[in-house]
């Protein structure tokens, strides 16, 4: 993949190779600081930061989340991390097509649409 900077970032002038994750690579309308500090007023109770990013899934799963269904892929990815969702896990639609929260037995996961991916963050209920 080739990343072209249109100015300003600290990574643009780095003399060494820089690892950029898929979420950073798909963010076209934000600066590094905006990406790190953005906080939606409707997000889950903990801030979604790069520190609590778990993984991302294709944006095609947004429709399932809008219907308050937990996509099988999301469930599987959580299980691979050792986080099995219980039978009472529920999806709260915070902003249709953009922001959701999965709440399950004292745990929560914030899911945010970022361009072509849905980023899944660990949250606190």
Query: Could you tell me the residue range of the domain that residue 80 belongs to?
Result: 40-124
pTM: 0.61
Give 100's strand partners.
93, 111
Would you say residue 5 lies in a domain?
no
Would you say residue 51 lies in a domain?
yes
Would you say residue 8 lies in a domain?
no
C-alpha span between 67 and 93 (Å, rounded): 8
Would you say residue 12 lies in a domain?
no
Would you say residue 26 lies in a domain?
no
pLDDT digits (tens, 9 = 90+) for 87-106: 999 999 999 999 999 999 88
Would you say residue 120 lies in a domain?
yes
Domain count, the chain: 1
* Confidence category of residue 115, pLDDT binned at 50, 70, 90: confident
Q: Which of 110, 73, 77 is nearest to 94 (CA)?
A: 110
Q: How far is CA 34 from CA 9, 13, 37, in A?
A: 11, 19, 5
Would you say residue 19 lies in a domain?
no
Q: Is the pLDDT of residue 60 over 80?
A: yes
């Amino acid at each position: 993949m080739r990343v072209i900077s249109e100015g300003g970032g600290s990574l643009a002038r780095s003399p060494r190779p820089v690892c950029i994750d898929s979420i950073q690579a798909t963010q076209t309308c934000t600066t590094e600081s905006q990406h790190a500090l953005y906080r939606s007023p409707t997000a889950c109770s903990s801030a979604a930061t790069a520190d609590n990013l778990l993984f991302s899934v294709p944006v095609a799963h947004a429709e399932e989340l809008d219907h308050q269904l937990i996509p099988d892929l999301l469930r599987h990815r959580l299980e691979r991390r050792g986080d099995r969702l219980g039978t009472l896990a529920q999806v709260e639609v915070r902003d249709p097509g953009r922001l959701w929260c999965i709440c399950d037995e004292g745990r929560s996961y914030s899911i945010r649409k970022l361009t072509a991916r849905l980023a899944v963050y660990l949250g606190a209920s």
